[in-house]
Amino acid sequence: MTHLPFAELHLHIEGTLEPELVMELARRNGVALPYDDVGELRAAYDFTDLQSFLDLYYANMAVLRTRQDFADMTAAYLARAATAGVRHAEIMFDPQAHLVRGVPLEVAVEGIASVLATSEDDHGVSTLLIAAFLRDRPEAEALDVLDGLLGMGAPIAGVGLDSAEIGHPPAKFARLFARARAAGLHLVAHAGEEGPAAYVTEALDVLGVERIDHGIRALDDDALVSRLVAEQVPLTVCPLSNVALRAVGTLAEHPVVAMLERGLNVSVHSDDPAYFGGYLDDNLDALTTAVGLTRAHRVRLAENSLRASFLPAGRRDALLAEVAAASD
């Protein structure tokens, strides 16, 4: 069965660093890691919550030192994404996570962007880049980094908000998002992953985001669910991530199909595929077994992903037409 065309809208490029590449880059750059081999590193991928994942995610970034490292990571992701049916990817990166390690903005941005520039020709995957800001760090730092990105003419299409959620409500970043909006950037934010439904409301009303990353905790608030249905707010849901970080007990209990059937504008994405057990196709395949995801559900998810993307109308409609042709 040929893949339906999907847009991957919730993907942290640093979360695509497979253990083999972590070890290879560590060797190449002479970075000492507390693991002797890939097996030992893989054994550490046993998370209890978001923070336990973030600790390893940030620690492994120590191997990313040069433009080539960022380029190699990005190229490996795009090659894999193409095999999953991804035809468009809106890719987040965490500039602060590299700056705090002494890696200049230019190294991360140019390394990633150099590969994105040829992705449509190389893999048939169009791309956009989103700078995600770390909500557990001060807003003043984020403002400086945004200014740095704008000042260097970084090819970013939007800003996002990620990292440890609880205790760091969206409103903490009101000025950052206002500045990004004034610069003409798209706005997205993680909300309602571990944090409460109120953070989803705040991301919409205070930050003015166009999409919510995760948003599953919105289900705790019926009035919010009604609003999200009425306004068709896109929610980029990541099932394997939710189970790996214990936001949801098991995949069989994952609410994504129920969300679709309630009329929510959800799509399925992979978040940090190297850490959570798989890419977009792996998420869809796992849902097929665990919750009976049907071909009709897949078609809806593909359509929702394309409509929630920031693609220009021409390519978006061409990909939607491919979905329609494949589902006849």
Q: Which residues bind Zn ion (CB under 5 A)?
A: 271
Side chain identity at residue 124, one-letter code: G
For ligand HPA, which is the closer residue by CB, 12 or 87?
Answer: 12
Among 22, 23, 26, 50, binds ligand HPA (CB under 6 A): 50
133 in helix, strand or coil?
A: strand
86 makes contact, choosing from ligand HPA, Zn ion, none, with CB < 5 to 8 Å by partner type, with none
CB-CB contact of 212 with 197 (8 Å): no
For ligand HPA, which is the closer residue by CB, 17 or 25?
Answer: 17
272 is in an annotated binding site: yes
281 is in an annotated binding site: no
* 262 closest CA partner among 232, 287, 284: 232
- With CB under 6 A, what is the number of residues at the site for ligand HPA? 11
Positions in 81-140 near ligand HPA (CB under 6 A) = none
Least Å from the CB of residue 9 to Zn ion = 10
User: x/- string (CB under 6 A) for ligand HPA, residues 9-28?
Assistant: ---x--x-------------
97 in helix, strand or coil?
A: helix
Within the chain, where are the H helices? 19-29, 38-43, 50-60, 67-83, 95-99, 105-116, 119-123, 139-151, 174-182, 197-202, 222-231, 239-244, 256-261, 273-276, 280-291, 295-307, 313-326
Residue 239 touching ligand HPA (CB under 6 A):
no
Least Å from the CB of residue 2 to ligand HPA = 30
**Any idea which residues carry the catalytic annotation?**
193
Binding-site residue ranges for substrate: 272
